[in-house]
Amino acid sequence: MKSTPQNDSRRLEPYGSCDLEEIYQRLVVPTLDPAIDHWLSEDFGDAGDLTTSAFIAPDVEARAEIRSRDHGVICGLPIVRRIASRAAGTLETEQLAVDGDRVEPGMRVMEMRGPLASMLEVERTLLNLLGRASGVATATSRFVDAVAGTGAVIVDTRKTTPGLRTIEKYAVRCGGGRLHRIGLHDAVLIKDNHLAGIGSRFSEAVEAGANGCREQMRPRFIEIEVDDLEQFEMVLDLPSGTVDIVLLDNMDLASIRTAVERRNLRRRALLLEASGGISMESVRAIAETGVDRIAVGAITHSATQIDFGLDMD
């Protein structure tokens, strides 16, 4: 069952109308330079690269290529160029691929020229970053491919690596996924622990809180988590427009199908999002229930790094 046109979840996505380049500029670039300084300081400490300083003369020039050693979706090439530029301004870089491209073992993705010492100093930092971001993009693409044709979209979660959230969310987009919240600051997600604090005043408290939030904070969307169909019915009884999305948390397939049917009868514009332990084995069946969104924490918290190597000439 495909989602109906009015249930296009992309309308609530941050940067939903932007291409990858614009997302990179708006999401990643503002905090990139301080992040690079921090990454390099982990390697350099107060003394710098002891091995390179002892064995490589500063005037030795080299040419190198970054090559993929895995199959996957690449992400992070502009960041690699920025690392090379910020840490070693004399290095020249040329991209041979673009973020979002599919790569295979042996494929050349970037060429570098300049002092060998500079390349060696930044080699591990840039390969680590490229491998991590590409791992997230690759994991995302596999889930996106698995639900192709169903109408459901794959969205990320806040289960990201501390300090790398904006890069990992950009990687999700490179892999064809969609973004949920950037953080706590841009959208509302009323979870089970929030509901526990509300107590028995469910309908009154949710309606009042949602209305006040819209007036004062203007979030991109308001979403509420439910654990069973009884809670879902309580959400359907709220005035239209109180919430934008209902998160169906850890529900079985039969319950998800029932929720979709009830939504279609009563609130066609209400978006439904499945979440909780989503795997490659289960995601297709969940998508075929008719939900609009599937939140997959695994695309960030369990992504396997893609291997890249820097080959010197």
- What pLDDT, in 10s, does the model give residues 124-174? 999 999 999 999 999 999 999 999 999 999 999 999 999 999 999 999 999
Please give the mean pLDDT across all residues of the chain: 94
The CA distance from 70 to 217, in Å, is 44
Q: Choose, from 156, 244, 249, 273, the residue flagged as catalytic.
A: 249
User: Cα angle vertex 281, ends 279, 287, to 5°?
Assistant: 80
Give the whole-angstrom CA distance, residue 114 versus residue 89. Answer: 9
Residue 228 has pLDDT above 80, yes or no: yes
- Residue 33 clears pLDDT 70, i.e. is over it: yes
At residue 202, the pLDDT reads 86
Catalytic site residue 159? yes
Out of 99, 225, 273, 292, pick the active-site residue. Answer: 225
Residue 9: pLDDT over 90? no
Q: What pLDDT is stored for residue 87 in this prediction?
A: 77
| Lowest mean pLDDT across 29-38, 134-143, 191-200, 304-313 | 191-200
Please determine, for residue 254, whether its predicted confidence score (pLDDT) is greater than 70.
yes
Q: What is the predicted pLDDT for the residue at 88?
A: 67
CA distance linking residue 248 with residue 272, whole number of Å: 7
pLDDT band at 86 (very low <50, low <70, confident <90, very high): confident
- Helix H or strand E segment including 115: strand 108-115
Q: What is the mean pLDDT of residues 255-277?
A: 96
pLDDT score at 90: 79
Per the annotation, the verdict on 191 as an active-site residue is: yes
Element (H, E) at 225: strand 222-226
| pLDDT number for residue 6 | 47
What average pLDDT does this structure show over 13-28?
94
User: What single string gives the DSSP state of each residue in 260-282?
Assistant: HHHHHHH-TT-EEEEESS--TTT
Average pLDDT over residues 107-112: 98
Residue among 63, 113, 159, 262 flagged as catalytic: 159
Q: Is the pLDDT of residue 5 over 90?
A: no
124 is catalytic: yes
Q: What is the pLDDT of residues 180-214, one digit of tens each?
A: 999 999 999 999 888 888 877 888 999 999 999 99
CA–CA dist 145, 153 (Å, integer): 10
pLDDT one-digit tens code per residue, 44-78: 999 999 999 999 999 999 999 999 999 999 999 99
**What percentage of the chain reaches a pLDDT higher than 90?**
89
CA distance 132 to 147: 24
**Where is 64: in which H helix or E strand?**
strand 61-68
Of 2, 108, 191, 268, which is the active-site residue? Answer: 191
From the list 124, 145, 233, 261, the catalytic residue is 124
Cα–Cα distance for residue pair 158/245, rounded to 1 Å: 17
How much is the pLDDT for 199?
A: 73
Domains of the chain and any CATH numbers: 5-14+143-301 (3.20.20.70), 20-138+305-312 (3.90.1170.20)
